[in-house]
Amino acid sequence: MKLAKLYKNSQVFKIALGIAIAVVGYIACVFYTQMRSLDSSVDIITNATETQLELERVLSIISIYETNLRSYIITKDESYLEKRFLRRGEIETNLKRINVLVANNPARVKDVKRLNKLIDYRFKLFRETLLLAKSKMPNSEVLNAKLQESNDFTELMKNYVYKTINAEGDKVKIHNNNHQFELQDSIISAFLLVILSLLILLLSFNKMNVDIYELKRANDELKFLNHSFNNAEKIAGFGHWKINLETNTYSFSDNFFRLLGLEPQSFVPSLENISKYVHPDDIEYVTQMHLDSLVSYNPTSLMYRFVLPNGDLKYVMSVGSFTRNGKGQMVKTGVNYDMTEQYKRTIELEENNKELISINEELESFNNIVSHDLQEPLRKIQMFISRIESTEVDSISEKGKGYFYKIRTSANKMQTLLIDLVNYSRTIKGDKVFENTDLKELVYHVIDDLSSDIEEKKAKIDLGDLPTVKVISFQMEQLFINLISNSLKYSQEDVAPEISIFSEKIDKNEVFDNEIITDQDYYKIVVKDNGIGFKQEYAEKVFILFQRLETGSKYSGTGLGLAICKRIVDNHNGFIKVISEPNVGSTFSIFLPKKA
């Protein structure tokens, strides 16, 4: 069963055919290698003989030089040294010949280099011995020792050279023996490999017949897939097209025609015929972009309109790119998407955006009214209230005074609300210029601005270390103003407010809105007070616009202060949370990114 599966596997037979070709190549290489091996054997024997001869010549010259030196020591006759001794010309010539002979043998090249060093040292001994012999009062013991050292080193050189010569001889013998063995073995191998190749070729031929049957089945399956793809085009609302740049032939899918409101293959696919259905205002642009792409091979992405036979408009997105087919011909293929419904929704969205822009303009006008037009009459009301209080309050009845007090309180509340609305608006539409800001220095300015309120409440503010952060300075100043004012406003009766502002390390990773907050990415800044606090279940509610907790009439507020704080922190891509307990106090934690 496994053999049948392998037999039907085309990849297996591709490998088998590759093996067969490799086998034939291997046989040819074997015979070629054998012929080269014979030539190589002759060259090796010749080189070895000549190398041996040259090495023996070098040893002979060294021996002659040694004899001449000894003769000079005995006779002091300078003729033994003239034109012969210490002249390395002959030896250098021998060594050059040896280097040429062993150039293709790295091991021998290394041996020759070592021999050259030995010769250098031997000549060094010659010079040292000669200097001792020529001295006015030569020390016979030192001279004899140097001669003995020279003689021993000469024997060492001879042993090294003969070892090299013997190694070359052994190598020739081994090469001849291996060559004979390989020649006999290759005949048997060649016969077996040829039989194996014929068997593989026979199986491959039989596999071709099987593949023809499989190809027919694959062709039937391909027809079915093509039918399925056409149905998919119809369901998804797109059609594909193709242009062969070599033959200048166009082809459109069935659903391409349906997008035009036509029956499949209603006309011969061509640029001229399809252009008849392109909207007159789009035809020049679309045609030019398409023709330019056929020259530059740049992909295209165009949106244009088709005019259907019934007069309806259809918006399409046409995307095309270039590739080469199996024949190596350049082909542009593309897809047309029906974008009519999406285009209509886009137009509707644009209309909605225009309406939103109009609403935003109205809101901007409202903001200007709040910040200027409403505050001006309010200031006048407060001014007249102040004048009446200073001059006419004694003539007003007690009941009237009560009403008058309520008028003043309402006016003050309205002013506070207008200021908070303007501040909130600034956090939304204000310039968001980030700059490096020393938060400790910034908080010092805030404390100075709130000094009268702090002194009135007899509050104690403990300011610890704060980082330098890239923030929107005026918004960050408003943040601390609101938080400190909040702590002063909601302090306990008969208890001096204590407010601590500091930064601390995030020891454990915190999670906020499913995002992990780590000390590596965020600064943590804490504002802690000993005020009236509130139940922790209201911790989220305090940051909602216009939301106030039930704190009694003596605690005034608009419900915008902490909402402004949250908006500012959001503008900095940070987080703010609070932990509170009634009659204990509240701790606000602000997390600001270290990289703005």
pLDDT digits (tens, 9 = 90+) for 5-56: 555 566 666 676 677 677 767 766 765 675 566 566 666 767 777 777 877 7
The DSSP output letter for 531 is S
- Alpha-carbon span 441 to 522, nearest angstrom: 20
Asked if 589 contacts 524 with a C-beta cutoff of 8 angstroms, the reply is yes
| pLDDT for 183 beyond 80 | no
For 524, residues 6+ apart whose C-beta sits below 8 A from its C-beta are 503, 504, 505, 506, 589, 590, 591
| Token code pair at residue 144 | 């004899």
- The helix (H) or strand (E) run that includes residue 524 is strand 522-529
3-state class (DSSP) for residue 467: coil
* Of 468 and 386, the one with more pLDDT: 468
Q: β-strands 498-504, 460-463: how paired?
A: parallel
What's the pLDDT at 411?
Answer: 67
What's the pLDDT at 185?
Answer: 62
* Of 88 and 446, the one with more pLDDT: 446
3-state class (DSSP) for residue 1: coil
pLDDT digits (tens, 9 = 90+) for 356-396: 776 666 556 656 555 555 666 766 776 777 777 777 766 77
CATH topology match: 2-210 vs 431-593: no
**Alpha-carbon distance values, 155 to 55, 114, 146, 344 (Å):** 14, 15, 14, 105
Q: Is 431-593 in CATH node 3.30.565.10?
A: yes
| pLDDT for 574 beyond 70 | yes
* Domain boundaries, given as residue ranges, for the chain: 2-210, 237-338, 361-429, 431-593
Written as one string, the DSSP assignment of 343-403 is HHHHHHHHHHHHHHHHHHHHHHHHHHIIIIITHHHHHHHHHHHHHHHHHTGGGS-HHHHHH
- Alpha-carbon span 87 to 252, nearest angstrom: 92
pLDDT digits (tens, 9 = 90+) for 433-447: 788 989 999 999 989
Dihedral sign from CA coordinates of 543, 548, 554, 558: positive
Q: Average pLDDT in the 176-192 region?
A: 63
- Alpha-carbon span 58 to 90, nearest angstrom: 8
Asked if 484 contacts 450 with a C-beta cutoff of 8 angstroms, the reply is yes
Could you tell me what percentage of the chain is helix, strand and coil, using 3-state DSSP and rounding each to the nearest 5? 65, 15, 20
Angle at 380 between CA 378 and CA 381, to 5 degrees: 65
pLDDT digits (tens, 9 = 90+) for 228-239: 656 666 666 678
| Token code pair at residue 448 | 């100075």
Q: Which residues pair with 372 in a beta bridge?
A: none
Q: Which residue has the tokens 């046409």?
A: 318
3-state class (DSSP) for residue 178: helix
On average, the pLDDT of the chain sits at: 77
The DSSP output letter for 492 is P
Q: Average pLDDT in the 531-558 region?
A: 69
Band the pLDDT of 1: cuts 50, 70, 90: very low
Q: Is 2-210 in CATH node 1.10.3470?
A: no
pLDDT digits (tens, 9 = 90+) for 326-364: 888 899 888 887 888 888 888 888 888 777 776 666 556
For 161, residues 6+ apart whose C-beta sits below 8 A from its C-beta are 55, 56, 58, 59, 115
At the topology level, CATH places domain 237-338 in Beta-Lactamase (3.30.450)
